[in-house]
Amino acid sequence: MAMEITQILLNAQSIDAASRKHAEESLKQFQDQNFPSFLLSLSGELANNEKPVDSRKLAGLILKNTLDAKEQHRKNELAQRWLSLDASVKAQVKACLLQTLSSPVPDARSTASQVIAKIAGIELPQKQWPELIGILLSNIHQLQPHVKQATLETLGYLCEEVSPEVADQDQVNKILTAVVQGMNASEGNNDVRLAATRALYNALGFAQANFSNDMERDYIMRVVCEATLSPEVKIRQAAFECLVAISTTYYDKLASYMQDIFNITAKAVREDEEPVALQAIEFWSSICDEEIDILDEYGSDFTADSDIHCFYFIKQALPALVPMLLETLLKQEEGQDQDEGAWNIAMAGGTCLGLVARTVGDDIVPLVMPFIEENITKPDWRQREAATYAFGSILEGPSPEKLTPIVNVALNFMLTALMKDPNDHVKDTTAWTLGRIFEFMHGSTVETSVITRENCHQILTVLLQSMKDVPNVAEKACGALYFLVQGYEDSGSASPLSPFFHDIIQALLSVTHRDDAGESRLRTAAYESLNEVVRCSTEETAPTVMQLVPVIMMELHQTLEAQKLSMDEREKQNELQGLLCGCLQVIIQKLGSAESSKYAFMQYADQLMELFLRVFACRNATVHEEAMLAIGALAYAAGQNFVKYMQGFYPYLEMGLQNFEEYQVCAITVGVVGDICRALEEKILPFCDGIMTHLLKDLSSNLLHRSVKPPIFSCFGDIALAIGENFEKYLIYAMPMLQSAAELSAHAATVDDEMLEYTNQLRNGILEAYSGIFQGFKNSPKTQLLMPFAPHILQFLDSLYNEKDMDDVVMKAAIGVLGDLADTLGTNAGPLINQSVSSKDFLEECLSSDDHLIKESADWAKLAITRAISG
């Protein structure tokens, strides 16, 4: 086998399908039969300078794939497999890889460095391969540049794979020293300098201590800034990437460098090649991101223990920053609006300008207005477009008081431009700007809307006309309509849109039927606007929405009839089905939730269900998701009548609950089970054995994405509330699962915000399950069955209170559970409740909460406890 491996690896890349297939099978067989020998062959191949580069590269790639996978569960399995290998095998593989770093063949070196990082990612956290970093660092001192380059690249990958906690500070210092030295201008070899700069990008996360030391930070920053001036464009780009990363990781350490960084970025934006200029703009965008986050934090609940401090870098840089960004707006590319993947300096600059406006608010307006006024009427389309884009960009951030007078003047101009401007690019941006005006300057949250009953008609006329324009302009007009309509969401029965309602729907339907509706996501935009029109319909316009039902159903029916489609056509068909199901979902929710329209609407229920079931027969996750959500809304509207669809729908429900792969579908299906529980109540009982089995399986599976687990617990509560004491037979399965999940989540080591958020979602799910179970058993003779679980549940509540890291939602649910427990178990639980911390201190805290939902639940709990204790 070893003799043939080169040939097999080459055949696996052959253009001949048969020999490729054969080679792949041989590799698989080899791997299955003797895994250690397989690894040795591959690493030997990669290390062997005599072998062709293609077989070496593939050998390295296959090696890498034996060590790592995207899916977390699989990833863990692979790591375990590697760790359990014989030590001598591992040593040989590692030796081959390290040896490859000195290979004269760049591709071999690069592949080896990636594989080394993967192994390091597995072994270093286990305190294995301790000599690795020492070996790499000694490589740095080699004179051969290509070895240096490969070693730096390896260090870069290594920092990407390994978390900073794994390395001790001494090692970190040495790595950083090596990397920063490699970046230094004194390094004569560009490849080495580039590799070092890219390595620094990944190593920044390790440099916490070094960035806290003024001397070391000054040094790193100086080297990074110097690298932005390198004659080699790739080095300049990589250096700016480092600056961007530093701006988010070390925002609070930047104050003394900002003047220099501004000069560097300004030069790059004005003079450098586009990839570099884009990174330079990105630096400012990411500073905006940071400051917007910090200021948001100030606005919400800035407390004494909050340690984030805003340095107002953007505010200080404003007078120079804004003119720089305005200049970029004039560098548009022809046709950028038709190109989905386009990203150029004008787009980046405009986006940054929008972020700056959100950061500083009113201050930006006087700096941008002269540019707009000067350019908006110029004959050159670039100037008109740039002026319009600048205007659109600053609509979010400044106060309505500041903007309203300007927008009042500009609105007519914009409407005229959308109709009359000869340039599509200008019209595209104009329609987008109108959308932004409607989004931010109109609606129930705006004190005085710029839209009046008088100009509303004119605006609609222009938008509907513009929806017949070229696809990218029409798409923006649909988007503008979306926000115009949204602004009337709370206007009640006397919506100014009512007289035009029918025309709006007709116009949107015509757009969906345009031959070119597939371009510039026009069809999607039209359906999205249609959805918003439906959401904002009133009792008065409900009959028009009702007429829409058979129309959309017919469209969906047609997509299901279409046969013998090509792959491409099928994909488009699926997309359309998704849009139609989405639209029906919105309609169902609207018409099904109002008493006045529900009756008339439900006549379509049978047909709708039939269509949805046919949609399920198509294999496409997005469509399933949309159809599932639509069915959830339908179940809610149908109530107990939904029972007649259960037989037909149940198989698909089961399918959804087993869809581990497309976990979004699984999550949504779990939510729909809840809808059905609330609709059918005890009539769901015959289906509960099956549903509970799948839910319990889902919970114990390692394959299912963790985000689905909290909703499954909530779903237990939905089921229990629906079937009451019939939940008895599931107690022996559900309660232990809840109990162990509760223990885990009560004391979860919440290392980061994301983990804490997940932990709280899990806690909320568990608590909702307990609430549902208690309330389900209330007034039943079987409440005693729950008594044995009460001590643990109270303990869980106590520990939540003591951990002090629950969010408001959990707090509300937790105090509610306390009330439910008291309510259902009554005087039996009195002594237990009296003993628990949560019944006194926790309750007190919740009663004095500012959050009305928590207070409300606490009020309830207090009442229930009062009754339970006083009998």
The interface with other proteins within residues 409-438 (CB under 8 A) comprises 428-429, 432
Span 202-221, contacts to other proteins by CB under 8 A: 202
Query: Does 275 contact other proteins by CB under 8 A?
Result: yes
The one among 823, 825, 849, 854 contacting other proteins by CB under 8 A: 823
Q: Where are the alpha helices (DSSP H) in 361-470?
A: 365-375, 381-393, 400-420, 424-441, 453-466
Give the Å distances, CA to CA, from 840 to 793, 815, 845.
15, 11, 9
CB 847, min distance to other proteins, A? 9
**Residue 44 or 275 having the CB closest to other proteins:** 275
**Residue 633 or 731 having the CB closest to other proteins:** 633
Q: Which of 296, 313, 198 shows the shortest CA–CA distance to 250?
A: 313
Query: Does 852 contact other proteins by CB under 8 A?
Result: yes
Span 721-740, contacts to other proteins by CB under 8 A: 721
**Residue 8 or 525 having the CB closest to other proteins:** 525
3-state secondary structure at position 147: helix
| Distance separating alpha carbons of residues 241 and 203, to the nearest angstrom | 13
Query: Does 64 contact other proteins by CB under 8 A?
Result: no
Neighbouring C-alpha atoms within 13 Å toward the C-beta of 793:
32
Query: Does 595 contact other proteins by CB under 8 A?
Result: yes
Name 648's Cβ contacts closer than 8 Å, sequence gap at least 6. 609, 613
Instruction: Identify the burial level of 215 via C-beta atoms within 10 angstroms of its C-beta, where 0-12 means exposed, 13-18 middle and 19 or more buried.
Output: exposed
Angle at 530 between CA 526 and CA 535, to 5 degrees: 150
Contact (CB, 8 A) for 764 and 714: yes
Instruction: Identify the burial level of 256 via C-beta atoms within 10 angstroms of its C-beta, where 0-12 means exposed, 13-18 middle and 19 or more buried.
Output: exposed
Span 788-817, contacts to other proteins by CB under 8 A: 816
Query: Does 161 contact other proteins by CB under 8 A?
Result: no
Q: Which stretch binds other proteins (CB under 8 A): 57-65, 87-95, 702-710, 851-859?
A: 851-859
CB 126, min distance to other proteins, A? 25
Q: Which of 137, 146, 135 shows the shortest CA–CA distance to 108?
A: 146
CB 599, min distance to other proteins, A? 6
Q: Print the SS3 string covering 84-127.
A: CCCHHHHHHHHHHHHHHCCCCCHHHHHHHHHHHHHHHHHHHHHC
The one among 479, 487, 656, 710 contacting other proteins by CB under 8 A: 479
CB 657, min distance to other proteins, A? 16
Contact (CB, 8 A) for 324 and 269: yes
Cα 469 to chain centroid, rounded: 33
The residue count for the chain:
871
The one among 29, 107, 343, 378 contacting other proteins by CB under 8 A: 343
Q: Which stretch binds other proteins (CB under 8 A): 176-184, 583-591, 612-620, 696-704?
A: 583-591
Span 666-695, contacts to other proteins by CB under 8 A: 668, 671, 674-675, 678-679, 681
The one among 55, 585, 620, 849 contacting other proteins by CB under 8 A: 585
User: How many Cβ atoms are within 10 Å of 516's Cβ, its own excluded?
Assistant: 11
Q: Which of 315, 319, 310 shows the shortest CA–CA distance to 366?
A: 319
Span 92-151, contacts to other proteins by CB under 8 A: none
Site string for other proteins, 163-192 (x = CB under 8 A): ------------------------------
Q: Which of 155, 195, 154 shows the shortest CA–CA distance to 175?
A: 155
Query: Does 598 contact other proteins by CB under 8 A?
Result: yes
Q: Which stretch binds other proteins (CB under 8 A): 292-300, 317-325, 507-515, 628-636?
A: 628-636
Span 442-461, contacts to other proteins by CB under 8 A: 444-445
Query: Does 765 contact other proteins by CB under 8 A?
Result: no
The one among 68, 528, 555, 698 contacting other proteins by CB under 8 A: 528
**What is the DSSP secondary structure assignment for residue 838, as one 8-state letter?**
I
Site string for other proteins, 505-524 (x = CB under 8 A): -------------------x
**Residue 398 or 717 having the CB closest to other proteins:** 717
Tokens representing 117? 């990082």
